[in-house]
Chains A and B, each alone.
Chain A
Amino acid sequence: MQANLLRTFARRLFLDRQAAFWLGPGGLHARVVEVIDETPDARTFVLRPSRHWTGHQAGQHTTIEVEIDGVRHRRCYSISSAPSDPQVAITVKRVAGGRVSSWLHDDVRAGHVLGLGRAAGDFVLAPSEASAPLLLIGGGSGVTPLMSILRDLDNRDAVHDVVVVVHARRAGDVIFGRELAAIATRHPGMRLLVHLDDLDEARLARLVPDFAARTTLLCGPAGLMERVERMWAAAGATPRLRREQFAAPPVPTPAPGAPVAVRLTTADRTVLAAGAGTLLEQLERAGERPPSGCRIGICQSCRCRKRRGVVENLRTGAISSDPDEDIQLCISRGRSDLELAL
């Protein structure tokens, strides 16, 4: 209460801006202390977080904020380091045409400062699960959150009965290959299976016959995830399957003007934006009354935060899928289902 009052006071007298200017940004950020090449297209960035960092649980992800040519971008990355490590490691695979991953690979060196978000996510082991038989399945860069979990178990000498299945296209593409092998050597309770062929249901069942009895942690490309989900469902083992989805970028609808579902997070309802015109006109037709003004894209009255989804800017023709960006409803059109902070 008192802290709130003090904050209001500081903000109203612009002391917060003064303080941030003279004392440096108070928020959470991290300095890159080391960059490690893992595979030809995956790099680990070892970060030293500022003192606001509250730690993470093995398996969680965090948000990295970067500024590229004056524009800020945010991306989620799984943490690959163990919680006991004071430094935080993220492992980034270069995505073809990916602005942020390419920039991290090409421009970031030790000493760089990046914006950092809090650790989040429920892809973690409950204390009771750690001693149960485990199965960790990681495809491609999906091995990163599993690495954090495995390092944590290794640190606590709690690797009792763990099967690790790693899938990659080539041997050289296996991230953390050497360290995984080293942990496996240290702990007789760990079995490491590196698989380079297609990992289909039959092969997986042959590799891990008792899969249905194991608490399973799964992270990888969509195809692998779907196959495993089907297999576990067929075996009635879905309750023991935990998944970490790398949020795939939303794909724009092929036809401009196709109806899209708009989730309004403040109002807590979903409406259909359909028919001619801009998002503003469509929302108004659906019975919504978002704030608006000039209706020609200059006054910013209808500016609102897009949480996720793809929009087309009708003045510039630009299509953007960045999460958490501000859009102007009167010059935007939805090109996928959207989530707006309205």
Chain B
Amino acid sequence: MTTPSRTLTRDEADAFGRELDALRAEVLADLGQPDVDHIRAVIRAAHRAEAAGRLLLHFGLGPVSFVLGSGALGVAKILDNMEIGHNLMHGQYGWTHDPALAADYEWDNACDGGDWRHSHNFEHHTFTNILGKDRDVGYGFLRISPEQRWYPRHLTQPIVAALLAMNFQWGVATHDLRIDEVSRGKQTRAQLRERARPFLRKAGWQLLKDYVVYPALAAGNAPRVIAGNLLANLTRNLWTFAVIFCGHFPEGVRLFHQDDVVDESRGQWYLRQLAGSANIEGGSTFHVMTGHLSHQIEHHLFPDLPASRYPEMAPRVREICARYGQRYNTGSFARQLGSVAGKILRYALPTARAS
């Protein structure tokens, strides 16, 4: 077991924060053409993959072109959602003043961009891993830590998690609606209807696109196109679920209580982001496919820096963490995913509450 992080004084935390601020400023000053070239190359790749996928599904015959087409479309959706959409919507490329790279990007996902910017950029990134404030902790229905109270419904959570993985975009899309708050009386049905408007509009267009318009264009090949789109969406759902669950839920990631963060300084905010995130090791293609969320730690420390800079920052962040006695949670994809799966199984049972 890795040694846990040392508790820092406020002054130590602020010194830690100043080192990270300096690293951030250094990268910020270095941004330029290579960063723009990178994101445009990924956008080009996503366009090409989508075109290839749709052509193979529409005009191909037989199972090979079906699998290749669905796969290419799935890759296009993954690139669009992760390296392009997630990162553009954080405003990582706002400094370019290029409208095609602006934070108002709309992605190929059932989740409305505006809803996402609120629930993710604001709530999750500001209140990361604070119980009762960060609604991304178990997404409100999974128990991934002994610090969360156990309810009998958690017994089914291995199945619920599997269903969520397969339909992940719908979980993400309805996250900002706070449907659970209706049954708890914190939100009226009328408020929910109002809040659901952007979601319903976006989801409607997405369904129309993948399951009506493109199949209609394929005429006789429509069933194959519907199946291909389903498979592509499923691929993207499973992949994004796996990557995102590895970001905050593996063993060793800390949860916080609202009392912990009263009067939190910038340095302490950095410490919470570090303690609440975990990285996944891999090669450069893997990192791009995860939208560099494989560097969840760097992403949470510097959410507005172009994500493709995280790999070069990681060794330096790690070195700073080592000097301040802070745990830097990283591991292989298999290890982190296994750790998350283990927690979902373990904490389905009430016995694991004591700790």
Residues on A close to B: CB < 8 A? Answer: 12-14, 17-18, 21-22, 67, 69-73, 293-294, 296-301, 303, 316, 322, 325-326, 328
Q: How far in angstroms is the closest Cβ of chain A from B311? A: 19
Contact with A along B54-85 (1 / 0, CB 8 A): 00000000000000000000000000000000
Q: Which residues of B contact A71 (CB under 8 A)?
A: 32, 95-97
Within 8 Å of chain A (Cβ to Cβ): is B335?
no
Are B121 and A299 in contact, CB atoms less than 8 angstroms apart? yes
Known contacts A14-B108, A294-B126, A300-B90, then 14 further A-B pairs from the complex at CB < 8 Å, ordered by chain A residue: A12-B205, A12-B208, A14-B106, A18-B51, A67-B36, A293-B122, A299-B126, A300-B94, A301-B118, A301-B121, A316-B25, A322-B97, A326-B103, A328-B91
Are A298 and B31 in contact, CB atoms less than 8 angstroms apart? no
24 contacts between A and B (CB under 8 A): A12-B208, A13-B209, A13-B213, A14-B108, A18-B50, A21-B47, A22-B47, A67-B36, A69-B33, A70-B36, A70-B37, A71-B96, A72-B97, A293-B121, A293-B122, A293-B126, A294-B126, A298-B304, A300-B89, A300-B90, A300-B94, A300-B103, A322-B97, A326-B102
> Known: A69-B33, A293-B126. Contact between A300 and B95, CB under 8 A?
no
A231–B96 alpha-carbon span in the complex (Å) = 45
Q: Which residues of A contact B146 (CB under 8 A)?
A: none
Q: Which residues of A contact B47 (CB under 8 A)?
A: 17-18, 21-22
Are B51 and A69 in contact, CB atoms less than 8 angstroms apart? no
> Known: A21-B44, A293-B121. Contact between A13 and B304, CB under 8 A?
no
Q: Which residues of A contact B209 (CB under 8 A)?
A: 12-14
Are B304 and A73 in contact, CB atoms less than 8 angstroms apart? no
Are B33 and A70 in contact, CB atoms less than 8 angstroms apart? yes
Within 8 Å of chain A (Cβ to Cβ): is B35?
yes
A22–B91 alpha-carbon span in the complex (Å) = 25
Residues on B close to A: CB < 8 A? Answer: 25, 28, 31-37, 43-44, 47, 50-51, 89-91, 94-98, 102-103, 106, 108, 117-118, 121-122, 125-126, 205, 208-209, 213, 266, 269, 303-304
Are B213 and A293 in contact, CB atoms less than 8 angstroms apart? no
Decide if the interface of chain B is mainly helix, strand, loop or mixed.
helix
Closest residue of A by beta carbon distance from B125: A298
Q: Which residues of B contact A14 (CB under 8 A)?
A: 106, 108, 209
The residue from B98, B108, B118 contacting A72, defined by CB atoms under 8 A apart? B98
Which 7 interchain pairs have the tightest Cβ spacing? A293-B122, A70-B36, A299-B122, A294-B126, A72-B97, A299-B121, A69-B32
A303–B95 alpha-carbon span in the complex (Å) = 12
Are B91 and A296 in contact, CB atoms less than 8 angstroms apart? no
Closest residue of B by beta carbon distance from A18: B47
Are B97 and A301 in contact, CB atoms less than 8 angstroms apart? no
Are B36 and A299 in contact, CB atoms less than 8 angstroms apart? no
Between A and B, how many residue pairs show CB distances below 8 Å? 85
The residue from B37, B117, B303 contacting A301, defined by CB atoms under 8 A apart? B117
Q: Which residues of A contact B97 (CB under 8 A)?
A: 71-73, 322, 325-326
Q: Which residues of A contact B50 (CB under 8 A)?
A: 18
Counting chain B CB atoms within 10 Å of each CB, which of A12, A70, A296, A301 scores highest?
A70
Are B126 and A22 in contact, CB atoms less than 8 angstroms apart? no
Q: How far in angstroms is the closest Cβ of chain B from A167? A: 35
Closest residue of A by beta carbon distance from B94: A326
Are A293 and B205 in contact, CB atoms less than 8 angstroms apart? no
Are B32 and A298 in contact, CB atoms less than 8 angstroms apart? no
Q: Which residues of B contact A326 (CB under 8 A)?
A: 94, 97, 102-103
A325–B102 alpha-carbon span in the complex (Å) = 11
Are A301 and B36 in contact, CB atoms less than 8 angstroms apart? no
Q: How far in angstroms is the closest Cβ of chain A from B214? A: 9
A303–B51 alpha-carbon span in the complex (Å) = 33
A162–B34 alpha-carbon span in the complex (Å) = 53
A296–B35 alpha-carbon span in the complex (Å) = 24
Q: Which residues of A contact B108 (CB under 8 A)?
A: 14
The residue from B28, B37, B94 contacting A303, defined by CB atoms under 8 A apart? B94
Q: Which residues of B contact A322 (CB under 8 A)?
A: 97
> Known: A12-B205, A13-B213. Contact between A298 and B96, CB under 8 A?
no
A59–B269 alpha-carbon span in the complex (Å) = 55
Q: Which residues of B contact A299 (CB under 8 A)?
A: 117, 121-122, 125-126
Closest residue of B by beta carbon distance from A72: B97
A17–B95 alpha-carbon span in the complex (Å) = 21
> Known: A300-B90, A303-B91. Contact between A70 and B31, CB under 8 A?
yes
Q: Which residues of A contact B37 (CB under 8 A)?
A: 70
Q: Which residues of A contact B118 (CB under 8 A)?
A: 293, 301
Q: How far in angstroms is the closest Cβ of chain B from A292? A: 9
The residue from A22, A294, A328 contacting B122, defined by CB atoms under 8 A apart? A294
Are B205 and A298 in contact, CB atoms less than 8 angstroms apart? no
Are B102 and A13 in contact, CB atoms less than 8 angstroms apart? no
Are B25 and A300 in contact, CB atoms less than 8 angstroms apart? no
Q: Which residues of A contact B205 (CB under 8 A)?
A: 12-13
Q: Which residues of A contact B213 (CB under 8 A)?
A: 13
A263–B44 alpha-carbon span in the complex (Å) = 40
Q: How far in angstroms is the closest Cβ of chain B from A111? A: 19
Counting chain B CB atoms within 10 Å of each CB, which of A73, A300, A301, A322 scores highest?
A300
Q: Which residues of B contact A73 (CB under 8 A)?
A: 97
